[in-house]
Amino acid sequence: MKSKMNITVRGYHIDQFGHVNHGRYVGLLEEARWCYLEENNLFEPIHEIGAIHVVSRLEIDYRHPARVNDTLCFETKVTGRTDSGFLMNQDVFLKSSKKLVLHARVFNVFVDQQGKPRAIDPRIFDFWPDLASAETISRL
């Protein structure tokens, strides 16, 4: 399921060039991923089975600047998985024009208590259908 979140750009989001600073997007993308997990009621069941996932890589393609008072629409979805992790795609649009601001690929890996990569616990597929039906990809 695709998750959507809107945020209005504020003065503290912009840099000296008058647009949202690239570093700010990292935090905003994280917020949108949390929104995805909340909307899909995934926090509690993920924690109940002891599954821990962390971002292992983030790729961002910037397409158009966002400025103060622009409303940004963040769309987040799971698009692929491996034996030990998953890929989320995030697109950010200007709400007013639907113009693409950025496209991000977020690679997540499941880890054990020591932080070492581990296989996806198959129980997760019972409550996370997006992950269960995601295309199998060769690597993260």
Amino acid 1: pLDDT: 83
Domain containing 80: what range? 3-136
CB 4 within 8 A of CB 52: no
pLDDT digits 0-9 by tens, 62-118: 999 999 999 999 999 999 999 999 999 999 999 999 999 999 999 999 999 899 999
Structurally, the chain folds into a number of domains equal to 1
CB 20 within 8 A of CB 9: yes
pLDDT digits 0-9 by tens, 107-121: 999 999 899 999 999
Q: What is the CATH number of the domain that holds 51?
A: 3.10.129.10
- In this structure, the strands spanning 135-136 and 71-81 are parallel
